[in-house]
Structure 1
Amino acid sequence: MARYVFITGGVVSSLGKGLASAALGALLQARGFSVRLRKLDPYLNVDPGTMSPFEHGEVFVTDDGAETDLDLGHYERFTGVAARKTDSVSSGRIYSNVLEKERRGDYLGKTIQVIPHVTNEIKDFLAVGDDEVDFMLCEIGGTVGDIEGLPFFEAIRQFSQDRPRGECIFMHLTLLPYITASGELKTKPTQHSVKELRAIGIAPDVLVCRSEHPIPEKEREKIALFCNVRKDAVIAAPDLSSIYEAPLAYHREGLDQAVLDAFGISPAPRPNLARWDDVMDRLNNAEGEVRVAIVGKYTQLEDAYKSIAEALTHGGMANRVRVRSEWIDAEIFEREDPAPYLEGFHAILVPGGFGERGTEGKIKAAKFARERKVPYLGICLGMQMAVIETARDLAGLPDAGSEEFDHEAGKKRFTPVVYHLKEWVQGNYTVQRKVSDDKGGTMRLGAYTAQLTPGSKVAEVYGATTIEERHRHRYEVDIKYRDKLEQCGLIFSGMSPDGRLPEIVEVKDHPWFIGVQFHPELKSKPFAPHPLFADFIRAAKEVERLV
């Protein structure tokens, strides 16, 4: 049976619960324990798949096709443990499950209530797979006191009582604001947050306190006294120069030891932190810098492209260079020449997205990269825009476009080089979709196999001819234009096993121009950079040397 650590937050949101959870998971791994991390979100959306990136940031996709919170990306990047559908749940999913059971008559005519029916559904979710790992780390989204989070807090309180004593602990993350006028850290917000938590029956075992300044010993003693925790379980969480410093910083503060002490695990295995020492060495001792332009439509919120930003950093680690990513709104290129904006960059990346806005700007960015021989990586929509650019400029298809937006824009005449995918093979069965289907969960989601052309650039990059990558899209490049495009130098170097769906394209006689229909950034880790990002930055590094 797994031991459970429930991570909650107080005072304000965005303090870094996901990062703290991921770092704790990495530290427990470093001591030889197996871990799994889970996220429980109080919002009523069934999942974040239909949310705007401006609302919720990036949607992180798992191998088994779940659309989840971006915190699961942190969990994977820090622990290397692939997330699953059973690692993410929302209030919307919980209530949906309860209502489905009620309609089926599973409750035998009983009145359905938050307690016990909703809380039991949450507890059932928590218990899935608890015999597979040593520690289950469960993060509760939002902050204590949020009305929508109350069923989750009640569920974890009940869960801790249902389990044998010593199998569950609570870790609470709070803020210690610094008052400049008086020159002191204030502990009262943390005291009130813990009071709110205790009022609903949960007493924290470990307190993690975010602050801009070190916590003086006097304040640490005060927090321990008034919050009823051991002084060595009051953990400082100062601001860091890099998120990848978190495991080492939390270890120095004693977080992993405090958690093991709370479980009564003694003597604790000594940690092996060599992996994280190497990560920080590569970050802190870079031997150069490359500039990468990310031409997208959600550039006002970096979290919309969180995994891409991190994967570029990982690619820099692999090449011992610092990657300076600069975000450029694709809509600018629909009004202005992209050259003044893109000249001076060592590489260009066009990420995924949905809808027409900014697409013509992305097409111009792809054209600039192709003609100027600048390394280019197109992801999902970024690949489709590169294909449309080639079709228009080189293949004699000036009206080339996509069914995703051209038909919606009322264009009477366009060549649908990119079409709505209505049927594909998943495992041993065929999936069928209609344009009129619900938006949520109806895309081609999760891990799919691709066959690479031997001798191609991507086969060289991967060092393999069979790969598996994660997808999230409902539009595909039409294979019927393959011959025409390949005659112009755009090679279809990766295909689905049945040969029907293009997975990868690359430009012949170009230093590095690759478009992929999948999302390689989702599988990149600081200690295992994704090969596409590692080689993309290597190519950018070569440009930097030439400049």
Structure 2
Amino acid sequence: MTSPASHTPLVFVTGGVVSSLGKGIAAASLAAILEARGLKVTMMKLDPYLNVDPGTMSPFQHGEVYVTDDGAETDLDLGHYERFVNTRLSGLNSITTGKIYEAVIRKERRGDYLGGTVQVIPHVTDEIKRCIDAATAGYDVGLVEIGGTVGDIESLPFLEAIRQLRIERGQDMAMFVHLTLIPYIAAAGELKTKPTQHSVKELRSIGIQPDVLLCRSEQPLPDGERRKIALFTNVPEKAVISVIDQDNIHKIPRWLNGQQLDQLVVDQFRLQGKAAPVADLSEWDAVVDAAEHPIDEVTIAVVGKYVDHKDAYKSVGEALKHGGIRQRTRVNLKWLEAEDVERGGADTVLAGVDGILVPGGFGDRGFEGKVLTSKHAREQRVPYFGICYGMQAAAVDVARNIAGLEGANSTENDRATTHPVIGLITEWRTQSGDVERRSEGSDLGGTMRLGLQEQRIKPGTLAHKLYGQDVVGERHRHRYEFNNRYRTQLEAAGLVISAKSMDDLLVEMVELPQDAHPWFLACQAHPEFLSTPRHGHPLFVGFIRAARERKAGGRLLNESSLSEVAA
């Protein structure tokens, strides 16, 4: 454990009644307000599942795997955190029960516990506390979200650990914020507080008394219900915060600030000397204003493999909206299954859209639909943005339909393809030149290119124009790469390699010349992970602008006329 002098005040956010109430957004919004008061803030997520990380979990079950700079595969809530605060997070900020038990067992195997019996208390709870301290050290405030719902058996070690922290460090170093549901019963015309009372009772039964209640409801909490909740939960009335449904999540920081939630934190942690007297939320107000007063509107097709579960593409959807916010443009997302393109034909399924984005994915299902999508966008001159698998699909499209490489494919989908334009590095970078084949028993959790890596942008390309830089860093999550043996052939067919890794080995971005296509660009990395509502991302801003220009009949927009949010 760290010394008391280095301890960071911690806000623990728990949830009750039902899941999916929005703990992550609520915690991120509070962090944004505290940051707007000049405090240095960090966040972390404690997830109760036994997987070491979400990297091998199904997108249908768990949603997006969010990747940090250091290559950690984390819960999608870390994406919310990074979009709301300026702190860049790492693997330290994403803890699972599996990661905790893995660490404890490793210590036991090497004899760290000196032959003692290893137990949940104190060994597991001590490891949890150690991880919390490691992730939050050096900050003014750390916000820690506990996954799951109070009452779940899986979350008990985490709850016990934070209970101990409160006892060990006192209430001026640990604060409990509990998010609950206040359901509205339409037949009775009433908001019901009983579920919240029972949720707090459950929390108190394990030794945790909340300092603040965030009461999620469809309408503002009347004063009478607020007083009732305060009375029955032993929470001060001013700390019973109404959290109503919002049509725009970026309104939540201002809403919570209006009820002085940030002041409750500042007062309890005695941070008056560090925090500004009021929060400067002007950037968030500008984001909301741009979203609510658009000057234009576009429709973007997202052609993916998991669109029935949109959380699998959470960051992509948010980044597209951020690109619109930067130019006061409403972005309507049309989610399409790649297999529907295969069945219905690209011309029919993709008719009427202003731009097409093909996101990442794994496996052969729907890949041919992604290739057809690239071909359609290329031939119909629709702005195309390929990300990860979307770049690989574009490379296969150009190989098959322009370079004449019949049967070109990725070895992920066809190991016997005669033209493996996409493959594992070991399949095309060998001493003998012979193709090596991936073993059937390869470890899916340990064969990825992960995390932030720099790439060099080729001058004169669309990519260079958008970034305005020679070298940029983007986050990666993939196994298969553009096969260097086909660089010359595909470049001769008109494909521009606009970015490569710093050692010149790996192709990072491709595009078509702008005299051949108005906006056709694809990247191997995942730029959506670095997009925020306040700053956007240059590739997404450029893509939405290209969609606007297509909608305007190909007319170039007058940049000076755009009412863009100030950078």
Shorter-chain TM-score bucket reads: over 0.9
Q: Could you tell me whether the CA contact under 8 Å between 1:406 and 1:414 is conserved in 2?
A: no
2:442 aligns to what?
437
Are 1:455 and 2:460 an aligned pair?
yes
**Which structure 2 residues correspond to residues 395-544 of structure 1 after superposition, within 5 A?**
395-407=403-415, 412-422=416-426, 435=439, 436-508=441-513, 509-544=516-551
Alpha-carbon distance, 1:373 to partner? 0.6
Identity of aligned residues (%): 55
The equivalent of 1:290 in structure 2 is: 298
Deviation at 1:336, TM superposition (A): 2.1
TM alignment of 1:354-373, pairs within 5 A: 354-373=362-381
Which secondary structure does the structure 2 equivalent of 1:455 belong to? coil
Q: Distance in 2 between matches of 1:421 and 1:433?
A: 10
Task: Please say if residues 205 and 262 of structure 1, whose CA atoms lie closer than 8 Å, have aligned partners that are also in contact.
Answer: no
SS of residue matched to 2:143 = strand
Q: Distance in 2 between matches of 1:15 and 1:66?
A: 26
Aligned CA-pair RMSD: 1.7
Show the counterpart of 2:389.
Answer: 381
Q: Is the contact between residue 40 and residue 89 of structure 1 (CA under 8 Å) also seen in structure 2? A: yes
Query: Which residues of 2 match residues 15-54 of structure 1 at below 5 A?
Result: 15-54=21-60
User: Which of the numbers 329, 351, 357 marks the counterpart of 2:359?
Assistant: 351
TM-score, structure 1 length as denominator? 0.96
Q: What amino acid does structure 1 have at the position aligned with 2:521?
A: I
Structure 2 residue corresponding to 1:225, chosen from 215, 231, 237: 231
After TM superposition, give the deviation of residue 229 of structure 1 in Å.
0.6
How much does 1:64 deviate?
0.4
1:128 aligned counterpart, secondary structure = helix
Task: Give the aligned partner of residue 191 of structure 1.
Answer: 197
TM-score, structure 2 length as denominator? 0.92
Amino acid at match of 2:407: D
Counterpart AA for 1:501: L
Matches within 5 A, 1:246-285: 246-266=252-272, 269-285=277-293
Deviations 1:397-418 (A, max 9, x none): 11101111212xxxx5432111
Q: Distance in 1 between matches of 2:476 and 2:548?
A: 28
2:320 is matched with: 312
CA offset at residue 253 of structure 1?
2.5
Which residue identity is paired with 2:542? D
State the one-letter code of the partner of 1:276: W
Greater mean deviation of Cα atoms: 245-254 or 260-269: 260-269
- Residue equivalent to 1:428: none
Deviates more, 1:524-533 or 1:156-165: 156-165
- Alpha carbons of 1:392 and 1:261: their partners in 2 closer, same or farther (altered >3 Å)? same
* Unmatched segments (≥5 aa) in structure 2: 1-6, 430-435, 555-567
Gaps of 5+ in 1: 426-431
- What residue in structure 2 maps to residue 124 of structure 1? 130
Distance 2:489 2:289 in 1: 48
What amino acid maps onto 2:523 in structure 1? V
In the aligned structure 2, how far is the partner of 1:29 from the partner of 1:500?
Answer: 40
Measure how far apart 1:433 and its partner are. Answer: 12
Q: CA deviation at 1:130?
A: 3.7
SS in 1 for 2:552: helix
Deviation at 1:506, TM superposition (A): 0.3
Corresponding residue number in structure 2 for 1:429? none
1:77 corresponding residue in structure 2 = 83
Distance 1:485 1:43, change over 3 A: same
Q: 2:451 is paired with a residue of what secondary structure?
A: strand
1:81 to 1:441, Cα distance in 2 relative to 1, 3 A: farther
SS at match of 1:110: coil
Moved over 6 A (4+): none
Cα offset, 1:257, TM superposition: 2.0
Kindly provide the CA deviation profile for residues 248-284 of structure 1, in whole angstroms up to 9, marking residues without a partner as x: 1111232212222333445862111111111111111
Report if the CA contact (8 A) 2:129-2:165 is conserved.
Answer: yes
Deviation at 1:499, TM superposition (A): 1.1
CA deviations 1:151-207 (Å, max 9, x no partner) are 000011111222244111100000001111110000000000000001101100000
CA distance in 2 between counterparts of 1:281 and 1:487 reads 47
Contact 1:80 1:525 in 2 (8 A): no
Asked if structure 1 preserves the Cα contact closer than 8 Å seen for 2:411 and 2:417, the reply is: no
Report the Cα offset of residue 333 of structure 1. 1.6
Q: Secondary structure at the match of 2:535?
A: coil
Deviation (angstroms), 1:441: 4.0
